[in-house]
Structure 1
Amino acid sequence: MRLRVVAVGKPKLDYARMGVEEYAMRIRKYAPLEVHFVKEAQDLLPKAEGHRKVVLDERGKLFTTEGLLEELRRWEGERVAFLVGGAEGYPEGVRGRADLLLALSPLTLQHELALLVLMEQLYRILTLRAGHPYHRP
């Protein structure tokens, strides 16, 4: 699986920026990863062209880590883009183009925190897939 994360705005909060960089480095040991930051939410879909689209949305489907791994295994060998909206959310049509609406929590998360949580979960999923001991249910 080839991964792409597309988020609105580069993280400005130090903890988020450093965390995203750290997890991107870790993820690349297990799968190809591209991280793109766009200025406007309408630029999300063009950056995800040719990929399965997973749109983060608090109204999306909640998974356990193992459940999300099983869901993503359906797309093994494909390119998958995870889209993270900004503070204003998504423009019309983004949710409708999603192959999966994914909720990280039923809570509304600040978008930089949501990006960091996504990166940690991608790393956790990939280590679980590889049989690495990082994941402990």
Structure 2
Amino acid sequence: MNIKIIGVGKLKEKYLKDGIAEYAKRLHKFAKVEIIEVPDEKAPEQLSQAQMDQVMAKEGDRILNKIKDKEYVFALAIKGTERSSEELAAEIDHLTTTGKSDLTFVIGGSLGLAPDVLKRANTQISFGRFTLPHQLMRLVLTEQIYRSFMINAHTPYHK
């Protein structure tokens, strides 16, 4: 089983890096974990829609270059489908038992994900309508993936 998390931008905050590293370490007993950072596109604060589209497209290309054809892709998107922890666990369990052992989770930059990335995704997942910094979302996602494996292993962690 392989889990890949692709995020836009470099993580700078030590507390986030430490939290992600802890959950990734815990996940290693269930899966090989790879966390990939792709560079964010530098842009001024105020952007026209055309400029925003261009930034997302460039970041999208960088993301798509890190995804292989065989990977099952979860795109994190506000308009995606919300799942409970148990539903995500069941989905991961179903995917792995039906031969999908390469799962990739994609977190966009501050503008979100390019349409091409959303089109490539097998599913879109939402963690609610909150706006969270994409750096913090990496920690939340990593914990939820770990929680999914703990649910599937019937351990008391989830309680």
Larger C-alpha radius of gyration, 1 or 2?
2
Where does residue 49 of structure 1 map in the other structure?
A: 68
Per-residue deviation, 1:62: 0.4
Q: TM-score, normalised by structure 1?
A: 0.92
Q: Map residues 65-84 of structure 1 onto 2, 5 A cutoff.
A: 65-76=85-96, 77-78=99-100, 79-84=102-107
For 1:133, the equivalent position in structure 2 comes to 156
**SS of 1:10 mapped into structure 2:** coil
- What's the CA shift for 1:44? 1.0
CA contact (8 A) 1:55 1:95 kept: yes
For 1:56 and 1:91, locate their aligned partners in 2 and report how far apart those are by CA, in whole Å: 12
With normalisation by structure 2, the TM-score equals 0.80
Aligned residue type for 1:72: I
- Counterpart of 1:26 in 2: which secondary structure? helix
User: Aligned-pair RMSD on alpha carbons?
Assistant: 1.3
Q: Aligned equivalents of 2:25 and 2:86: distance in 1?
A: 22
Distance 1:92 1:68 in 2: 23
Q: Is 1:64 paired with 2:64?
A: no
| Equivalent residues of 1:4, 1:33 under 8 A apart | yes
Shift of 1:8: 0.9
Bigger shift: residues 76-85 or 117-126 = 76-85
Preserved contact between residue 30 and residue 127 of structure 1 (Cα < 8 Å) = no
Give the distance between the partners of 2:39 and 2:27, measured in 1 at CA: 24
| Partner-residue secondary structure (3-state), 2:105 | strand
Give matches, 1:112-123, under 5 Å.
112-123=135-146
Which whole-Å CA distance do the structure 1 matches of 2:126 and 2:74 have between them? 10
Q: Does 1:95 align with 2:121?
A: no
- Which amino acid in 2 is paired with 1:115? R
Q: Percent identity?
A: 33
Q: Deviations over 1:27-62 (max 9, x none)?
A: 112212111111142211221223111000111100
Q: In the alignment, is residue 2 of structure 1 matched against residue 5 of structure 2?
A: no
Which residues of structure 2 form unaligned runs of 5+? 41-58
For residue 31 of structure 2, what is the aligned residue in structure 1? 31
Q: Runs ≥4 in structure 1, deviation > 6 angstroms?
A: none
Separation in 2, partners of 1:90, 1:113: 16
Higher helix share: 2
